[in-house]
Every structure is written in C-alpha cells, then in structure tokens.
Amino acid sequence: MPGLTWVNGCLVAPGQPCLEAGERGFLYGDGLFETVRLYDHRPFAWPRHAGRLAAGCRALGIDYPEQEIAAGLQAVLAALAPAGTAPGDGAGSLRLTVTRGANPPGARGVLPSQTLQPTVAITLTPGEPYRPEVYRSGLRAVTVSFPRNHRSPVAGLKSLNYLENILGRREAAAAGADEGVFFNLKDELAEGTASNIFLLLDGKRLVTPAPASGLLPGIAREIVLSLAGSLGLTVSESAVTRRGLREAREAWLTNSLLEVAPLVSLDRTPIGDGRPGDIAFLARQAYRQYVRHFFHHHLS
C-alpha cells in the first residue's frame, strides 16, 4: 500500500503540488515535526508527541493548530483502516509537520507576519521501520566532526532545521557506520543524528546525557528512563565524557521508530565486548511490553 499524505485539510496524491512557494517551512525551516510509530495501524504515545509539539510551538511563537492536527490524524488513519492488510502487519510511521505558515503574496524577509495560519502536513509510511538484523547485530557509530551547540535555543526542539543532522549522518554513511554521534562544545556526549544514547556503566548503573548537553529529549528516551527501575537499574541524566563512554559495558540508541537498539562500537572501537548486550535486549523487551500496556489501557 502506498503512503498517504494530508496537507491543510486535503488528502494529497503522490507527486501532487501541495505547498505555496511562500511556505516558511520550505523557505526557512520555520517549523517543527514529530515522527510517531504505528503498531497495528494505531499511533503509539501520541499524547507525549502532542505535548512536545505543543511545547515546541510555544517556544517558537507558533499558534498550536490542535484542531487541524486532530482532523488530519483522523483522516489519515481512516484512509488507512479499510486496507487492513498494509505491509508489516499494520506497522508504519506518521510524520507530522507544523510550520508557521506561508508568507502573504509579495512578502519577503526573515521576520514573520503576526497573522499567519500554520501549515499542517501528515504523511503515513507503512511497513516496519527497521530490519530485524539491527537488533541482532547492533549498530555502529562514528563521532561527527563538528560539535553540537548545546547553548542554541533550538537545541532541544524537533525543528525543521535539520542540516547538522543530515551532515552528520552523511559523515557516518561515508565511514560505513549506521549513526553519527555528536559531542557538544564542552566535549560532552550529546546525542545521535536521529537518536538518544544510553550507557550501562557497571552492570546496574544506567546513564544518559542530560538535556543541558544539547540534545532533543526523545519520547522513547523518556519511556526507557521510566522503565529502568523495573530492570533493576539506577538511572541518571548527567554529563558524559569520552572517558565515561569508553568505560561503558553496554550502550544502546533510542528513538520512536527504532525503539531500543544496541550500539556495539564507536569510531571502530568496540563498546563492551562489541556485541549486543543482555541488558539492551531486556530494555527492548520492556519497551515492547510498555507498548502493549499502552494500547490495552487506551482501548479498555
């Protein structure tokens, strides 16, 4: 089944023009996005995503288009439902984009008008986001050559300004790696180009960089933090040095599509014994159990 796209009230056919030339998301990256995983055609943890998106809109001074988003989600999921046999047994992802809107005809310049109507675009892509081999073999990362500016006012936002992440991922691909890892201006671990990072330091102590290190606090990260105690782990959000990373016995990456996946090397140096660890496996199991409980609770 092909993907679905909904923009400002209309389902859009593939290849059909759907944005104005003055769209500020296109011109300046003036907006935000969320990526939501689907399980059995149902969006997971949408209230968390919506809360983060609303907070990001407040930070940027964009009127949060709550009603338009709700209508778009309903339209996309309703269009998906009749198929019932989408690839991946109902697995997939939603990409939800909110921009400040389109400049009026003839208007130009960086400063936005105060009367813009936000643009809302929702794209659905069916199928499993990652191959099973990712979890069996683990992921490899390299350090991105330039630092993350942890002092930037947009460092903690899921903004459309994604060029640093794109450049970092290109560096990783050129090195034959799966992910690029950012360190900040203080040479502290920040995040991956599309992931948060967890380190198991001594078998029971789990650490992940704090938001002040210049990262986007992910939804999957938030869930793993809440599950750590059930795995017998103590967890902290704190600054992580390169030495701390070298001392890790295990590591894993998280994002909403990836869930929890082991990280087995950085810059061709093994993390731990260079193989997916037992605790990473248990963390992913716990995450999957959380997903099942989420849908049971919301359907009961």
* CATH code assigned at 171: 3.20.10.10
Residues 6+ apart with CB under 8 A from 165: 193, 194
pLDDT tens by residue, 4-45: 899 999 999 888 888 988 999 999 999 999 999 999 999 999
pLDDT averaged over the chain? 93
Q: How far is CA 190 from CA 29, 140, 197, in A?
A: 22, 17, 8
Q: Which domain holds residue 46?
A: 4-126
Number of domains in the chain: 2
Please give the Cα distance from 94 to 75 (Å, whole number): 12
Residues 144 and 191 in one domain: yes
Q: Flag whether 168 is in a domain.
A: yes
Across 214-226, average pLDDT: 98
Residues 153 and 288 in one domain: yes
- Tell me the whole-structure pTM to 2 decimals: 0.93
Residues 19 and 110 in one domain: yes
Q: Flag whether 21 is in a domain.
A: yes
Return the closest-CA partner of residue 280 out of 259, 257, 250, 256: 250
pLDDT tens by residue, 35-92: 999 999 999 999 999 999 999 999 999 999 999 999 999 999 998 765 544 444 689 9
3-state secondary structure of 57: helix
Q: Flag whether 153 is in a domain.
A: yes
Predicted local distance difference test score (pLDDT) of residue 85: 44
Return the closest-CA partner of residue 216 out of 150, 148, 158: 158
Residues 107 and 151 in one domain: no
Residues 119 and 137 in one domain: no
Across 95-107, average pLDDT: 93
> Is pLDDT at 264 greater than 90 in this prediction?
yes
Return the closest-CA partner of residue 94 out of 132, 115, 60, 120: 120
> Is pLDDT at 300 greater than 80 in this prediction?
no
> Is pLDDT at 211 greater than 80 in this prediction?
yes
